[in-house]
């Protein structure tokens, strides 16, 4: 009889546990960015950093990383994105120190480390650029599914490229992808969600 009572109590216990888990999930803040389901480890960036030395995502563990792709001669999309990221970091106040912006060039011919350092520093001195050989950069773009196409522009050239920003959490896990045109407030929201985990 006691054994039967124990078995009869199991369904209620399981239902209670499932309800509690659903309630916790419902209370969990959601990202405004498109999310990666399931989340996965962010591919490493075996590139040269604009601040000297080698670029490594592993060195930013404990911080939320915002990863973008562009180039210093970009006329509109890149400077707009970087300005938004700088505003978001500023709005975070002290929490801004727990955020690292990394911007990888799609234009290795023009964007060496010194040029990227000067360009990114105009937006925020903490921003770090990544550059390398065409093959290295192509490999990184492939890992992240980033498109970059060189196009003639008068006597020079430009690039059409993916403009989303990747959100990487403090454990180095790829969590979201913010499309171009989102506001600083959207970034602040998502960064705080990731910092709160």
pTM for the model stands at: 0.85
Average pLDDT over residues 39-59: 96
pLDDT over 80 (residue 155): yes
Give the count of domains, the chain: 1
Residue 127 forms part of a structural domain: yes
- Least Cα distance to 105 among 143, 67, 75 occurs for 67
Cα–Cα distance measured from residue 58 to residue 190, given in angstroms and rounded to the nearest whole number: 21
Residue 63 forms part of a structural domain: yes
The token pair that represents 189 in the structure block? 């929201």
Residue 190 forms part of a structural domain: yes
Cα–Cα distance measured from residue 41 to residue 131, given in angstroms and rounded to the nearest whole number: 21
- Chain centroid to CA 197: how far? 16
Cα–Cα distance measured from residue 95 to residue 93, given in angstroms and rounded to the nearest whole number: 5
Cα–Cα distance measured from residue 123 to residue 96, given in angstroms and rounded to the nearest whole number: 14
- The whole domain housing 159 covers 31-195
Give Cβ neighbours of residue 1 (< 8 Å, ≥ 6 apart).
Answer: none
Q: What is the pLDDT of residue 28?
A: 63
CATH of the domain at 156: 3.40.30.10
Residue 52 forms part of a structural domain: yes
Calculate what percentage of the chain has a pLDDT beyond 70. 86
Cα–Cα distance measured from residue 189 to residue 195, given in angstroms and rounded to the nearest whole number: 10
Residue 8 forms part of a structural domain: no
Residue 122 forms part of a structural domain: yes
Q: What is the pLDDT of residue 18?
A: 44
Cα–Cα distance measured from residue 136 to residue 32, given in angstroms and rounded to the nearest whole number: 31
Q: What is the pLDDT of residue 29?
A: 79
Residue 76 forms part of a structural domain: yes
pLDDT over 80 (residue 61): yes
pLDDT tens for residues 109-127? Answer: 999 999 999 999 999 999 9
How many residues can be counted in the chain?
A: 197
Question: How high does pLDDT run on average in the chain?
Answer: 90
pLDDT tens for residues 8-22? Answer: 554 454 444 444 444
First to last CA, the chain: 45
């Amino acid at each position: 009889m006691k054994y039967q009572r124990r078995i009869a109590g199991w369904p209620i216990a399981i239902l209670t546990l499932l309800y509690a888990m659903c309630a916790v999930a419902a209370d969990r803040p959601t990202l405004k960015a498109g999310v990666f389901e399931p989340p996965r480890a962010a591919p490493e960036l075996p590139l040269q950093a604009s601040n000297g030395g080698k670029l490594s995502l592993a060195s930013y563990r404990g911080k939320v990383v915002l990863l973008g792709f562009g180039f210093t001669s970009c006329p509109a999309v890149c400077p707009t994105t970087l300005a938004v990221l700088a505003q978001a970091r500023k709005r975070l106040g002290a929490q801004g120190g727990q955020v690292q912006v990394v911007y990888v060039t799609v234009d290795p011919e023009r964007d060496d480390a010194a040029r990227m350092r000067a360009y990114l520093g105009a937006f925020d001195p903490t921003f770090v650029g990544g550059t390398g050989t065409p093959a290295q950069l192509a490999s990184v773009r492939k890992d992240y599914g980033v498109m970059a196409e060189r196009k003639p522009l008068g006597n020079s050239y430009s690039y059409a490229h993916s403009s989303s920003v990747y959100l990487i959490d403090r454990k180095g896990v790829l969590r979201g992808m913010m499309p171009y045109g989102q506001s600083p407030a959207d970034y602040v929201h998502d960064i705080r969600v990731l910092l709160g985990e």
